[in-house]
Amino acid sequence: MKILLLGASGYVGGALWQSLSARHTVVGTCSRRAVPGLVTVDLRDEAALCALLGQGFDLVIHAAGLVDLASAEAQPALAHALNVRSVEALRTAVRDTPTKILLLSSDNVFDGTGEVYTEEDPRSPVNVYGRTKCAAEDALLGPGGHLVVRIPLVYGRSPWADRFMARFSGPVTQAQTDVVCAPVYLPSLAPALEELWDRQGLLHFAGAEVVTRFALMSRVAEALRLPTRVVPVRNDDVFASPRRPKRLVLRSVHHGFLGPDVAAALADMASGSTEETT
């Protein structure tokens, strides 16, 4: 497969790039973070995106954009330009070509009041980030055979933008006891996408185990013997704005793939293995 991976310099994209490059021809992009081997392109430069697409790809994986909830809330126009407009431009650019687009979306399209969310549940975003992801899904789905894969919180190491492990860099790490999800172990994502990318429409992919952020962070710190103290907090006491959905458990009615449970993921991380588990 010849793949264009937008956002290969990011947390999720870096791990996808590393894994998929072993089995496919992957052109990865970066923006502000120059990474050797990646092509620099700004998502807002539609002419540059079109020129890149002119190389001819079987698949475009869109893993770029404004992801941080607070940054999106503070800069809604930028969030729309990166998260929505880029999808509209890509879809137009590949029209009448065989190139398929796979967009990574988020569990933040839901409000977090439901027990479990499948692809059939109505969306109800409560923050700017979630609203841009809804609009991006709408921009891609419909005729064209493209694919949206919604994922929850991702954890695990990433080669050059390790946002998850960076959370443990201080002596104290705050983690919410009232924010729950079925997080995805990052190395399980590339093989899952490879299983799913022949499909079209909307799919969920999540981890097997449902945990609080506090439980996840505590278990990671303990398993890897990290020199940080994970402190329990209530979300609204510490992260009052923007609104964050409290319970986001994604499940699929279309496939049975789940990422590994936390114990298996932590055993993999502790061993330093790069083995992928789905």
Q: Which of 61, 135, 154, 217 binds ligand NAP (CB under 6 A)?
A: 154
257 in Cβ contact with 204 (< 8 Å):
no
Here's the x/- map for ligand NAP, 75-104, by CB under 6 A: it reads as -------x---------------------x
Here's the x/- map for ligand NAP, 161-180, by CB under 6 A: it reads as x-x-----------------
Tell me which stretch binds ligand NAP (CB under 6 A): 31-39, 111-119, 241-249, 252-260: 31-39
Q: Give the number of residues in contact with ligand NAP, rule: CB under 6 A.
A: 26
Burial of 101 (0-12, 13-18, 19+ CB in 10 A): buried
Here's the x/- map for ligand NAP, 102-131, by CB under 6 A: it reads as --x-x-------------------------
The DSSP string of 207-222 is BS--EEHHHHHHHHHH
Rounded CA separation 86/50 (Å): 11
Tell me which stretch binds ligand NAP (CB under 6 A): 29-37, 207-215, 226-234, 252-260: 29-37
The length of the chain in residues reads: 278
Measured from the Cβ of residue 48, the count of other Cβ atoms closer than 10 Å reads 15
Least distance to ligand NAP from the beta carbon of 240, Å?
21
Cα radius of gyration rounded to whole Å, the chain: 18
109 in Cβ contact with 69 (< 8 Å):
no
Residues that bind ligand NAP (CB under 6 A): 7, 9-13, 30-33, 41-44, 63-65, 67, 82, 104, 106, 151, 153-154, 161, 163
